[in-house]
Amino acid sequence: MDIFDRNAERYDAWYDKNRELYEAELELLPKPVSPSLEIGVGTGRFAIIGIDIGIDISLQMLKIARKRGVECVWGDAANLPFKDKSFRSVYLVFTLCFLDNPYRVLREIKRVLNGILVTCIVPADSRLGREYARKDSPFYQKARFYTEKEVIDMLQDTGFKVKEIRRRRLKYDEKDFVCFIAES
């Protein structure tokens, strides 16, 4: 995504400026089971929990992730360059809203996964989601925020079984940040 290539440093700086929110997000994520993959790894902010490899379409974001010590692959989430059933855990942290075809990506994840999928969102129907959708941020101009129900439906439609839903207050209420833990 061109917007992320042009603004990689700005994107990454948000996590330093909003340290408390970032740390709250990290605390909600379950520990990865190896081998693990993060799709949309960006600058590697979430991979630091122990994710083995990250993939992203933005080369500028990957440069920053590599500086953090994250093993990275450049590629498209809709065409993952990995063998079937090669990961025991896959993470989509704040990535779903930026995907052109989330169903296609979820089917690709299903192909490479033999374990759990962790999908984290800011729900469309949360106060924070509505705030982000209105913001004049270059990152959210093309984002498509989803409700919890829409994400559950997507996961079920692509063959995942939702086992747990974790919620966390970041700014307004417990619906600010939601993680779905699903089995393939």
**Cβ-Cβ contacts under 8 Å for 78 (sequence gap 6 or more):** 99, 100, 101, 104, 105, 108
Q: Rounded to two decimals, what is the model's pTM? A: 0.92
Strands 72-74 and 53-56: parallel
- Tokens for 52, please give them: 């083995």
**Each residue of 14-37: pLDDT tens digit?**
899 989 888 888 999 999 999 999
**Each residue of 75-109: pLDDT tens digit?**
999 999 999 999 999 999 999 999 999 999 999 99
DSSP state of 78: T
What sign does the CA torsion over 14, 18, 23, 28 have?
negative
Contact 129, 150 (CB under 8 A): no
SS3 90: strand
| pLDDT at residue 132 is higher than 80 | no
| Structural domain spans, the chain | 2-19+34-183
| pLDDT at residue 2, as a whole number | 82
Instruction: Detail the DSSP E strand segments found in the chain.
Output: 36-39, 53-56, 72-74, 87-93, 113-121, 161-168, 177-183
The CATH-assigned architecture of domain 2-19+34-183 is 3-Layer(aba) Sandwich (3.40)
